[in-house]
Amino acid sequence: MAMTRVTPTPPTVAVFDVNETLSDLSGLVPRLEEVGAGPEILPAWFAATLRDGFAITAAGGLADFASIGVPMLASMLNEGSLRGSALESAEHVVGAMADLDLHPDVAPGLRALVEAGVRVVTLSNGAARVAESLLERAGLRDLVEQCLSVADAGRWKPAREAYTYAARRCAADCGELALIAVHPWDIDGARRAGLRTGWVSRAAGAYPPFFLAPEATGRDLPELVATLTRGGQ
Amino acid sequence: MAMTRVTPTPPTVAVFDVNETLSDLSGLVPRLEEVGAGPEILPAWFAATLRDGFAITAAGGLADFASIGVPMLASMLNEGSLRGSALESAEHVVGAMADLDLHPDVAPGLRALVEAGVRVVTLSNGAARVAESLLERAGLRDLVEQCLSVADAGRWKPAREAYTYAARRCAADCGELALIAVHPWDIDGARRAGLRTGWVSRAAGAYPPFFLAPEATGRDLPELVATLTRGGQ
């Protein structure tokens, strides 16, 4: 008797995280060097910015990504080695987040999704114009239906309201959406809100055991898209 | 005409954060050295543990502090330089959080509060037994009425429910409580929940502009207690 192969239904809409999932933050290093700082500050800065943004979210508030990221970076820069003031230097670096390159697997992954008939949107804890700018620079803006920001949801990811806002803007149910991200906290939050999930692991280590696990994982975006849409592994 | 000096009313209950506010995390460094790791990992580990705990809180979930902190530290340790497995090494380090010393300003600060007639409790995102152990080792357990954990509130600080839980356990209104912490995210959350707040700045830099500001600040706990209870500055 032949086995029945159950092919997963593709999601209706792929909802992309932006910073680090689409964009390569290592592109901030030249700006850090321009202001007189080293690259080792980057992961600590991004983690601390998310920590404080999530704290405000957990406490019921809402803050703008740059309004946390800029003073956070300024507080971490060593005044003595800077060419300008810490705040000006931090603005110069964080302002480059809209001018970063996309990871090389993003373009083929987005094309594979669109060819499979999946709608594509972005949902960022940063400003919508950052995602617009990144996609335009890469010549991929026409593949993406909408660039959404949690600022209009009133709550940052991973609060449930951020994901349900995206579903509403896509005129779809949460279960028709697949959140695609490199950040396990985003996968966890999307699952709790009832979305499907895909984790791009790239060079990351094991998925943390304390977060809800993704439905599909790929080392790069084309591999993940194959798993999510055509039952590939 | 003589000026009327308005003396602030002391809070009924001082609610203390535990990790870093009472305890000195640098006491984990010898354990890190025992397992073959360096001290530079400590601030990054603590920030990442809070980031992911806050993410789960913002998403509506609840996780145990150690269940995040141990695998997080394990993922940051360099397997090649360790004496045992990464997980065993991380458990050895995180397990020492109940055996740390208190900062030297804690004992005089707690005594000043009790002498001023202020009740003292602790409220930690970690386990209640960690605070019990720290206070007992320092011979200060009798100054503290209760050691509370957010595990029993169902939500981590800085979610509102964590602070209202403390008020309920103290049979007091939120406005009679003063949250005392070194972490600005804790001050911000407590203010949003309607508590009074005191920030121990110790060696920290400026208070972040994106968080609600504390009612009182002290470089050490006795200075803060004077401001909160007797109108000192």
pLDDT 10s digits, B132-170: 999 999 999 999 999 999 999 999 999 999 999 999 999
List chain A residues with CB under 8 Å of B67.
Answer: 209-210
Beta-carbon separation of A47 and B43 below 8 A? no
Chain mean position to CA A119: 17
Burial track A82-110 (b if 16+ CB lie within 10 A, e otherwise): beeebeebbbbbbebbbebebbebbbebb
Annotate A59-70 with b (16+ C-beta within 10 A) or e (fewer). Answer: bebebebbebbb
Alpha-carbon span B224 to B158, nearest angstrom? 21
Q: Rounded distance, CA A98 to CA A183, Å?
A: 19
Q: Does A189 touch chain B (CB under 8 A)?
A: yes
CA-to-CA distance for A71 and A225, rounded, in angstroms?
A: 37
Q: Which residues contact A25 (CB under 8 A, 6 or more apart)?
A: A19, A42, A46, A97, A100
Residues 6+ apart with CB under 8 A from A95: none
**B38–A contact, CB cutoff 8 A:** no
- B160/B57 Cα distance (integer angstroms): 11
Tally Cβ neighbours within 10 Å of residue B23. 28
CB atoms within 10 A of CB A200: 29
Taking the C-alpha atoms of residue A101 and residue A25, their distance in angstroms, rounded to an integer, is 8
Closest Cβ opposite residue B57 in set A58, A67, A208: A58
Handedness of CA B92, B58, A126, A121 (dihedral sign): positive
Amino acid letter, residue A142: D
- The CA-based angle A136-A139-A143, given to 5 degrees, is 90
Low-confidence ranges of chain A (pLDDT < 70): 1-8, 231-233
Please give the pLDDT value at position A233. Answer: 45
Among B110, B118, B211, smallest CA distance to B158 is for B211
Distances (CA, A) of A16 to A135, A143, A197, B52, B154: 12, 12, 10, 20, 30
Report pLDDT for A5: 55
Domains and CATH numbers, chain B: 13-24+100-230 (3.40.50.1000), 25-98 (1.10.150)
At what angle are helices A65-76 and A86-94 packed, to 10 degrees?
130
pLDDT score of B233: 46
Q: How many CB atoms lie within 10 A of CB A207?
A: 16
Q: What residues form DSSP beta bridges with B123?
A: B148
Q: How far apart are CA A118 and CA B178, in angstroms?
A: 52
Name every chain B residue with its beta carbon within 8 A of the beta carbon of A185: 51-52, 55-56, 59
* Regions of chain B short of the pLDDT cut 70: 1-8, 231-233
Q: DSSP label at B176?
A: G
* Residue B95 C-alpha from the chain's centroid: 17
Q: What residues of chain B lie within 8 A of the CB of A209, using their CB? A: 67, 71
- pLDDT value of residue A3: 55
Number of other CB atoms surrounding residue B47 within 10 Å: 17
Interatomic CA distance for residues B155 and A155, integer angstroms:
17
Q: How far is it between the farthest Cα atoms of chain B? A: 75
Q: Which among A59, A75, A193 has CB closest to B159?
A: A59
pLDDT of B78:
78
Start-end of H helices in B100-154 = 106-115, 128-137
**CB of A75 less than 8 A from some CB of B:** yes
Q: What percent of chain A shows pLDDT beyond 90? A: 88
Contacts of A44 in chain B (CB under 8 A): 43-44, 47
Q: Which of B153, B151, B129, B149 is nearest to B141 (CA)?
A: B129
CA pair distance B55, A158, nearest whole angstrom: 6
